Structure 1
Amino acid sequence: MTTAYIGLGSNLEKPLEQIRRAIKTLSQHPSLHNISVSNIYGSKPVGPQDQPDYVNAAARFDTALSSIALLDLLQGIEQDHQRVRERHWGPRTLDLDLLLYGNEQIDLPRLTVPHPFMLERGFVIQPLHDLAPDILLANGTTVTEQLHQLDTSDLVIITEE
């Protein structure tokens, strides 16, 4: 079994509902075990600002799936949520990013782990901090140390719709 961490994000078609549905789908999947989920946060978009704010979270689980099989599962869930990739960093119904897969460093055409932009994004590191504040990241810092280097002033915990 490998412990994996994923980031969840949505800013279209009732984003909070999209995140909650994705969490339910992940929780019910037979290949994912011991799932835990961070708080759910609201954040400003990265990239084009002509889009709605995002809803973000992170999840941790154990799996026997390979990293590519897990990526396929995550992309299948995105497709079930009618994910359309129209532009880079554009709006989306659901984004599921594989952030960490055990201690592995993966560099494949379809998959890079750790996620290449996670260290600079407060909306990723803050939810990851909720789940694993002391985990050591590839840059040699803990999640807590990395969080202190980021501006998270635009993040708000979402408690209800």
Structure 2
Amino acid sequence: MIYLALGANISGPAGPPETTIAAALKRIVQRGGLTLERASRVYRTEPQHVTAQPWFLNQVAAFKPGRDADMTPESLLEVLHAVEMELGRDRTWEIRFGPRSLDLDLLLFDNVVINTPRLTLPHPRMLERAFVLVPLKDIAPDLVLPTGESVQAALAELRYSVHNDVIRQ
């Protein structure tokens, strides 16, 4: 199973963040030859690091490669970057952890563990982020990461709160 995190907090070519996230899911399926298995609900989350910006919308989705897909983590990363660009992300001017029309993060690709200059799996900061782990728990409550840690155990290590669709950390 492939798990992706989707986030946005400003409008882009597809429209407001909620529309952009929905458009991204469709484009990932079309461009990547993947099948969408499950998607969490969309959460509103307060910005971290750069706090003077709009709140984010965040979601996690699980995909399976299609029958004809010869997908590798690296080729999927290319697809994700292409979708981000199509939907308005411009990495040349953005501020790290700042506003963006779309952010797609590859969290897990089956049980693959990679650490290259271009890609690290599992995602190196996912265990620090309630806005990733809460929606991941929604769609995969019993998931155990390649490190042997469960999503539930990782969440137990964080200070956060969830009320309705709002995550604070």
- With normalisation by structure 2, the TM-score equals 0.85
Post-superposition shift, 1:29? 4.2
Post-superposition shift, 1:62? 1.2
**RMSD in angstroms over aligned alpha carbons?**
1.7
Which residue number in structure 2 is paired with residue 83 of structure 1? 89
After superposition, residues 67-146 of structure 1 pair within 5 angstroms as 67-85=73-91, 86-146=94-154
CA distance, structure 1, for counterparts of residue 37 and residue 118 of structure 2: 25
- 8 Å CA contact 2:80, 2:104 repeated in 1: yes
CA distance, structure 2, for counterparts of residue 49 and residue 34 of structure 1: 32
Residue identity matched to 1:109: P
Task: Give the counterpart of 1:47 among 38, 46, 49.
Answer: 49
CA distance, structure 1, for counterparts of residue 88 and residue 10 of structure 2: 10
1:133-152 Cα offsets, whole Å, 9 max, x none, are 11112443211222222233
Q: How many residues align?
A: 156
Check 1:30–1:78 CA distance in 2 against 1; reply closer, same or farther (3 A cut).
Answer: closer
- 8 Å CA contact 2:112, 2:146 repeated in 1: no
CA distance, structure 2, for counterparts of residue 35 and residue 154 of structure 1: 24
CA distance, structure 2, for counterparts of residue 84 and residue 155 of structure 1: 32
Which residue number in structure 2 is paired with residue 153 of structure 1? 161
1:20-67 Cα offsets, whole Å, 9 max, x none, are 111222344461024321111000111111111000001111124111
Consecutive unaligned residues in structure 1, runs of 5 or more: none
Check 1:84–1:155 CA distance in 2 against 1; reply closer, same or farther (3 A cut).
Answer: farther
Consecutive unaligned residues in structure 2, runs of 5 or more: none
The structure 1 segments of at least 4 consecutive aligned residues displaced by more than 3 Å after TM superposition are 27-30
Percentage identity across paired residues of the two chains: 40
Which residue number in structure 1 is paired with residue 5 of structure 2? 7
CA distance, structure 2, for counterparts of residue 108 and residue 65 of structure 1: 18
Check 1:109–1:45 CA distance in 2 against 1; reply closer, same or farther (3 A cut).
Answer: same
CA distance, structure 2, for counterparts of residue 141 and residue 79 of structure 1: 33
SS of the equivalent of 1:26 reads: helix
SS of the equivalent of 2:57 reads: strand
